[in-house]
Chains A and B, each alone.
Chain A
Amino acid sequence: MRSLNEAAPANEEKHPIPQIDLLRFLTCGSVDDGKSTLIGRLLLETGAVYEDQLAALAQDSIRLGTAGKAIDPALLMDGLEDERQQGITIDVAYRYFQTDRRKFISADSPGHEQYTRNMATAASTSQLAIILVDARKGLLSQTRRHSYIASLLGIRHLVLAVNKMDLVDYSQTIFEQICTEYREFVRQLNAPAVRCLPISGLQGDNVTTLSDRMPWFQEQPLLELLEMVEVDSDASHSAFRFPVQRVSRPHAEFRGYCGTVAAGSITIGDPVLVLPGGQTSRVQSIVSFDGDLPSVSAGAAVALTLEDEIDIARGDMLVDPEQPAHFAKEFEANIVWMSPQPLIPQKSYWLKHSTRRTTGEVHSLIYRTDVNTLNRVEVPSLALNETGRCRMRTHAPLAFDPYTVNRQTGSFILVDRVTHETIAAGMIVEPETNQESSSQWGIELQSPKLQFTPSRITSGQRVARFGRPACTLLLTGLSGSGKTTIAFALEERLFALGTAVTVLDGQNLRHGISRELGFSAAERSENLRRAAEIAALFNNSGIVCIAALAAPDESTRKQAQKVIGKERVLHVHLDAPLEVCRQRDLSGRYLAADRGDIRDFPGVTANYESPTDADLVLPTHEWSVEQCVAAIEKRLVSYWNNAGQGTNGTE
């Protein structure tokens, strides 16, 4: 394949390729604070501008510049016609320069508030942010906004460059005032490393060399700081993650999974777990154009083959079985809204996460962050350039890590299904343990040595004592549909008939066994799971249980029935229209949900999946409580008659 080298003579003597690394950073800050000038200055002083470009710059400077007849480095940056005519930066410009120590990719991002999304875009691929302030103006809301967004996008190194020091007589006092104020602000952000530098981009003070005009500043000049800052990501030391980008099957003997290692490293023979499939296998080979490799780590683009034939597709993820990724359809995320159309909760958008495309929705908005004060504000929606915390729900489950752990497996974008605009950037936050509903239902025993000891009293003996087989009456329905009222009226009636009976009320549980749970879908699910376990205990003890819970989610109801034992659950759906439930609501919960004080409220800010297979459906808006109780009693008696004497077989 290299035979053409006779046309292009081979490079005989091996020329050393410099082993240098790459730093990506962005410059941000307010309008006219000198971002473009600073980058232009760095380009000029590192020799990244050629003579013909310099000549063009000199001409442009006279015509368009703001520096009199002197060279205006900013004109190297703004490349679009509109930008040059208006003298502002609209879109991110990527520029490149190099020193002996490092190669730099700089993203010069716009200062105007209406282009905040472009700033977030630049931040998403950067490891460091230079935040400029004009020494004459001090901190502005854009300084705070950009610092916040930089930290939100996971940038751990913030450099505050106090620019235009030449215009404040190189005053140490002014510089230190600004620094103190900034450090105070930044303490609230998740950005540990902050440095402050006094510079002049236009004059070149403290940019590549320390300035004589500020002898009081003895730290590193900006360029040296950029060269030396340690940004070695810990991605290669964390758990293995390999999003499958492409399945390669050139012939029957080869099945390779192409992708880039997103975290950790892998060696031939290492075990891998496939998400979502759940299968495990071992790495058979690591294939590359330059030959098979024994092991690779984060950042390497390769193809893996596995020892076993497993069905794996693009969008799946291979992970370390010892430290698997989170895996869920629901999670919380910080989002930056990027569309002029406001966010609509519950609306379905395209979602791209890693190499997976699915659909997803902002299930509910938890709060918006006021970027000036960092306060959390409860709002129904987000507008262009606003950021907030939301609860996401996706069509297919995602294998993810929190964004703070891994940018690649913790980020996603939302795309409008009609216009195809990118409308939001999302960063997944660490799931809280009490919100992992799916894993709570299917959770493994904490220790395999635990034993289960059955009671020596049989169900037959219990039926003989209580007269009837025990069962659970599961009353479900919207808030205000009458669950609690009917549950306690029914209890009274059955008790009067001599039945051993008790009520498990969803609200009451929250006074005790579920007191730490909130009202998110996941937490409602957990409340139902606990109720189901308790109902099963009551039933096993021979006691009839009336469980009254909203249980808005079909799959969760099914799991609850499984816990209790499907054959001993009678599911009664209290079916009243939402409007009626609202009118009946005396406790103000619907109004609180409307205001956003209660989130994930079924029927308001969360879905309510009406059951299709209930044993009994009661129109509680048309029937009296007595009629409802009578109907349930009738159904229960019929159940008892069918169940026979003591043969429900559920011990």
Chain B
Amino acid sequence: MIPSTSTNVDHLTMTHLNALEAESIYIFREVAESFENPVLLYSMGKDSGVMLHLARKAFFPEKPPFPLLHVDSTWEFREVIEFREKYARQQLGLEVLVHINQEGVEAGVNPFDYSSRIYTDIMRTQPLKQALTQHRFDAAIGGGRRDEERSRAKERVFSFRDNNHRWEPKNQRPELWELYNTWVHRGESIRVFPLSNWTEFDIWQYILQENIPLAPLYLAQSRPMVKRSGDWIMVDDDRMRLELGEQPVMKQVRFRTLGCYPVTGALESQAGSVAEIIDELVHSSASERQGRAIDRDEEAAMERKKREGYF
């Protein structure tokens, strides 16, 4: 579906990956210089991996001058948490804040008994807002890309949020050139998307080019899976509730996105390296959000979640 990668146009202009990289670095530096208390939202996914890499480039030889924040729904893949600890904390020595909505945990909110709308609100949106408020972050850098979903295509690179973290899509600040309007009053904040102009394909090509470390879930492996509502769901730990007649089977699968494991669909794949993933992508016919139940629960689901403060 995406054209072959065999072309080799000898161009004097920057290649598109260099151009995207430079644009993102510029954005990271603007955030660091324009806000008092920025934070990088870090989910350990592939986009997060690219963001962290770009942040390291932007401030080299310094470390990124802001902490990472992981909003932990408590239903992450185990491997993802392990990656956070080993890579971001230990290997890079970065400050990683972890925030969990304790009220949600105590109320027993889980992705089995609750609709995705309520579950996502309580275990993702609310704790994100709690953490931003608690630490008084005035800028939160996220990995959203405009190619992901229709309402994201309309989002600014520097996206204003009122003091209740709400997005007002019809009243966004005009965003001209690279002159980002970074003025906020107390309590207001800006969500910043340095990967706005990247596509999923760019992300993979860049990961390949830069050899960026990733959680192994992105690569095909034999994993214990069950088929549920058309999606392959991984049985990651013993909290997974099997429905009547479900029996985990070992399947060679990989993930295109990493969310809460009980609601994140995998695809059957043989791609064991980033290069093979790119080859598969070239021939793929499904979008990466295909495995995301939360986008499908209603018309304009993402837009509504975003208005309420979801990323």
Contacts and interface: CB of A to CB of B under 8 A. Distances in A.
A, B from the same assembly: yes
Nearest to A315: B33
A420 B181 contact: yes
A256 B58 CA distance: 12
B86 A4 contact: yes
Nearest to A13: B275
A94 B9 CA distance: 25
A7 interface: yes
A100 B3 contact: yes
B176 A51 contact: no
Nearest to B4: A100
Nearest to A124: B176
Nearest to A104: B16
A86 to B, nearest CB: 11
B228 interface: no
A451 B183 CA distance: 54
Contact of A15 (B61, B152, B199, B208): B208
B21 A301 contact: yes
A300 interface: yes
Given A99-B3, A288-B57, A301-B25, A408 B17 contact: no
Given A94-B146, A245-B33, A22 B170 contact: no
A408 B177 contact: yes
Interface stretch (B108-116, B131-139, B214-222, B236-244): B214-222
Given A19-B15, A90-B170, A8 B175 contact: no
A516 interface: no
Interface in A74-105: 76-82, 84, 90-96, 98-101, 103, 105
A2 interface: yes
Contacts of B287: 50, 52-53
A299 B14 contact: yes
Interface string B1-17: 11111111111111111
Given A82-B170, A100-B4, A248-B62, A8 B9 contact: no
Most-contacted residue by chain B among A90, A98, A301, A412 (CB, 10 A): A301
Interface stretch (A115-123, A128-136, A481-489, A578-586): A115-123
B153 A301 contact: no
A337 B14 CA distance: 33
Interface stretch (B69-77, B122-130, B278-286): B278-286
Given A20-B9, A288-B60, A120 B183 contact: no
Nearest to A407: B177
Given A52-B286, A124-B177, A7 B185 contact: no
A240 B222 CA distance: 54
A287 interface: yes
Interface string B24-68: 011001101100000000000000000000001111111000000
A338 interface: yes
Contacts of A289: 56-57, 60
Contacts of A53: 287
A47 interface: yes
A420 B185 contact: yes
A232 interface: yes
Contacts of A236: 12
A303 interface: yes
Nearest to A403: B177
A21 B15 contact: yes
A412 B177 CA distance: 9
Interface in B166-212: 169-170, 172-179, 181, 183-185, 196-197, 199, 201-202, 205, 208-209, 211
A422 interface: yes
A101 B83 contact: no
Contacts of A548: none
A407 B211 CA distance: 34
A143 B4 CA distance: 37
A519 to B, nearest CB: 32
B19 to A, nearest CB: 5
Nearest to A354: B179
B contact residues, range: 35 or more
Given A94-B153, A248-B62, A260 B22 contact: yes
B87 interface: yes
A16 B151 CA distance: 33
A553 B213 CA distance: 61
B290 interface: yes
Contacts of A51: 285-286
B16 A117 contact: no
Contacts of A248: 59, 61-62
A120 B174 CA distance: 9
B308 interface: no
A319 to B, nearest CB: 18
B163 interface: no
B290 to A, nearest CB: 5
Interface string A326-341: 0000000000001000
Nearest to A91: B154
B91 interface: yes
A107 B197 CA distance: 11
B6 A4 contact: no
B92 interface: yes
A413 interface: yes
B115 to A, nearest CB: 20
B57 A117 contact: no
B19 A22 contact: yes
B174 A118 contact: yes
Contacts of A354: 179
Interface string B85-97: 0110001100000
B202 to A, nearest CB: 8
B81 to A, nearest CB: 13
A16 B196 CA distance: 24
Given A17-B209, A314-B33, A413-B181, A93 B21 contact: no
Given A79-B151, A350-B183, A420-B184, A338 B57 contact: no
Nearest to B218: A8
A317 to B, nearest CB: 15
Given A258-B29, A301-B58, A7 B213 contact: yes
B44 to A, nearest CB: 12
A80 B306 CA distance: 11
Nearest to B175: A121
Contact of B172 (A91, A94, A232, A412): A91
A425 B174 contact: yes
A486 B3 CA distance: 82
Nearest to B17: A17
B176 A232 contact: no
23 contacts: A1-B91, A7-B216, A8-B214, A9-B273, A11-B274, A16-B5, A16-B8, A17-B5, A47-B3, A50-B287, A79-B149, A79-B150, A80-B151, A81-B300, A125-B177, A245-B29, A258-B29, A258-B58, A299-B14, A300-B22, A301-B22, A422-B173, A425-B174
Given A76-B150, A93-B154, A352-B179, 6 more contacts: A15-B208, A20-B16, A101-B9, A120-B174, A245-B29, A301-B26
Q: A-B pairs with the 4 shortest C-beta distances?
A: A79-B150, A50-B287, A301-B25, A4-B213
